[in-house]
A and B are shown apart, each in its own frame.
Chain A
């Protein structure tokens, strides 16, 4: 299908953090709402690992609701009657932005594993160029959850003059050892699939679907909480009232995870999954320019952090570490922890308190900035 795209390398190539470069790089993006006269009502929404640019409305290829439709749209928390929302697919992604399944201009073939390893900062550099191309000087806010929150933090740390407010949700300043471990299992699972063919699966017209599905199943567990899983599925059986004494599906949780894996492979590219998980694993703001506190010195942006009590992938303690360093630079920072059983996924779900507070924050800032 065709996506709205901008070539962000029409002026100059994109130099990556690895010192590698992309001579041609396109960004696929969607916008919602109307840009005001002063171009001061722009909110950049950053998607998480498996998200895409379709955060609101109906996704054109899955026909499902956009991944943040619950929050973004006319009259919603991120109100597109008022704000102009931009959401772009990250580089390395598979929904139209340049990634491993794009064509390498050097040889006319798909990059596959020849695609350079990208970082969260590279993703943000690409977004900055997109904003430049759209003629927007300063964003009202950058908002994102999980990997989207990492991007928001990079905006706040490295592009602070281009944004008024940073809203990192369920995220951290670095990927923890445990998070890297889960990602590595996912990558190993993809690479162990015989269909993966060292990343050249497209040339063989096959897909490493089983490996990718398992990667998704593992990851999906980390997005939920133990209590939430127990409450939702318990030990309930899927089909019958007795155990099958076979290796078919017995429990509802098995069926649920299988479904999550199956539906994921239809919409996501395995190599993209490798690249984006790697980008997250490489993320660590604390090893830049003399540590976290130095990074946020003389920062006029307003920060508003959200974490969720049952999120064990990005626990509250991680957020508190950033708050500590923001305090040491006396930055304007709010921090809210939401009580919920929904785990890491809470940022995508119906969490009335989270939504109410985010709305309050945005309207407070709107007044403060005289929008």
Chain B
């Protein structure tokens, strides 16, 4: 089984014997992979179909909505809480991020960079809402209501006094990009590990 590019990076962030929560775990690819590395994994998934698939694989997953259900968890119960390719579909990303770093010692968030040069070009030249592999929807059916760029995210962290422990930027082909002045233009997606200061 091959993991999605951002999930590969995330899995490298996780160490043995961690206790993690994957928020929006889909069909459980990441936690299935991590479970085999003696990581204690839990998952929340919005779609019942995804949940059922996960539990069938022997994973610990419940149906739930990150917008409302993270509030139920007590403080600091997980070493890492993961939110991959989901933050842009949350009704309140700020509240969700606060919950992530409250229930976990750190949070790993991956998201598509809306300032990627091809996206900019789409809008600039075609004048149409951008679409790509990780943003496949039309404007009228997209669940992605809170898209942001690499710069936006870092600005947010600075403003909210969140610590960026680690970041990895990924190219469209899945390679890691070395940070440079043009990262906000070149990165296809970003993976950030953050915590309270």
* Residues of A participating in the B interface, judged by any CB pair closer than 8 Å: 302, 304, 323-324, 327-330, 332-339, 353, 356-357, 359-361, 363-365, 367-368
- In addition to A334-B62, A335-B62, 14 A-B residue pairs with Cβ atoms within 8 Å of each other are A323-B62, A327-B72, A327-B73, A328-B73, A333-B60, A335-B51, A336-B48, A336-B52, A337-B48, A339-B48, A357-B55, A357-B56, A360-B56, A364-B57
Interchain Cβ contacts under 8 Å between A and B, 13 examples:
A323-B62, A327-B64, A328-B72, A332-B42, A333-B62, A334-B54, A335-B63, A336-B51, A337-B48, A361-B58, A364-B58, A365-B58, A368-B58
List of A residues within 8 angstroms of B55 by Cβ: 304, 334, 336, 357, 360-361
In the bound assembly, the distance between CA atoms of A328 and B69 in angstroms comes to 10
List of A residues within 8 angstroms of B57 by Cβ: 360, 364
B72 touches A324 (CB 8 A): yes
B48 touches A360 (CB 8 A): no
In the bound assembly, the distance between CA atoms of A330 and B44 in angstroms comes to 12
Chain A nearest Cβ from B60, distance in angstroms: 5
**Is residue B77 contacting chain A, with contact meaning CB distance below 8 A?**
yes
In the bound assembly, the distance between CA atoms of A360 and B28 in angstroms comes to 13
* Residues of B participating in the A interface, judged by any CB pair closer than 8 Å: 42, 48, 51-52, 54-64, 69, 72-74, 77-78
Beta-carbon nearest neighbor of B43 in chain A: A334
Given contacts A335-B51, A336-B51, whether A330 and B62 have CB atoms under 8 Å apart is: no
Chain B contact surface mostly: mixed
B74 touches A328 (CB 8 A): yes
List of A residues within 8 angstroms of B62 by Cβ: 323, 327, 333-335
- Indicate which residue in A329, A353, A359, A367 contacts B52 across the interface (CB closer than 8 Å): A353
- Indicate which residue in A330, A336, A365 contacts B77 across the interface (CB closer than 8 Å): A330
List of B residues within 8 angstroms of A302 by Cβ: 60
Of A330, A332, A338, A359, most B-chain CB atoms within 10 Å: A330
Top 3 nearest A-B pairs (CB, nearest first) are: A364-B58, A360-B56, A330-B77
A329 touches B74 (CB 8 A): yes
A364 touches B59 (CB 8 A): yes
Chain B nearest Cβ from A351, distance in angstroms: 12
In the bound assembly, the distance between CA atoms of A337 and B51 in angstroms comes to 9
Of B57, B61, B72, B74, most A-chain CB atoms within 10 Å: B72
Chain A nearest Cβ from B49, distance in angstroms: 9
Beta-carbon nearest neighbor of A367 in chain B: B58
List of A residues within 8 angstroms of B74 by Cβ: 328-330
List of B residues within 8 angstroms of A359 by Cβ: 56
List of A residues within 8 angstroms of B58 by Cβ: 360-361, 363-365, 367-368
B56 touches A356 (CB 8 A): yes
In the bound assembly, the distance between CA atoms of A349 and B153 in angstroms comes to 51
Beta-carbon nearest neighbor of A332 in chain B: B60
A334 touches B59 (CB 8 A): yes
List of B residues within 8 angstroms of A323 by Cβ: 62, 64
List of A residues within 8 angstroms of B42 by Cβ: 332
Beta-carbon nearest neighbor of A328 in chain B: B72
Of B56, B69, B78, most A-chain CB atoms within 10 Å: B56
Beta-carbon nearest neighbor of A366 in chain B: B58
In the bound assembly, the distance between CA atoms of A259 and B79 in angstroms comes to 57
B69 touches A327 (CB 8 A): yes
List of A residues within 8 angstroms of B51 by Cβ: 334-337
Beta-carbon nearest neighbor of A293 in chain B: B72
List of B residues within 8 angstroms of A335 by Cβ: 51, 61-63
Beta-carbon nearest neighbor of B44 in chain A: A327
List of B residues within 8 angstroms of A330 by Cβ: 73-74, 77-78
Chain B nearest Cβ from A263, distance in angstroms: 34
In the bound assembly, the distance between CA atoms of A336 and B72 in angstroms comes to 19
Chain B nearest Cβ from A77, distance in angstroms: 12
List of B residues within 8 angstroms of A338 by Cβ: 52
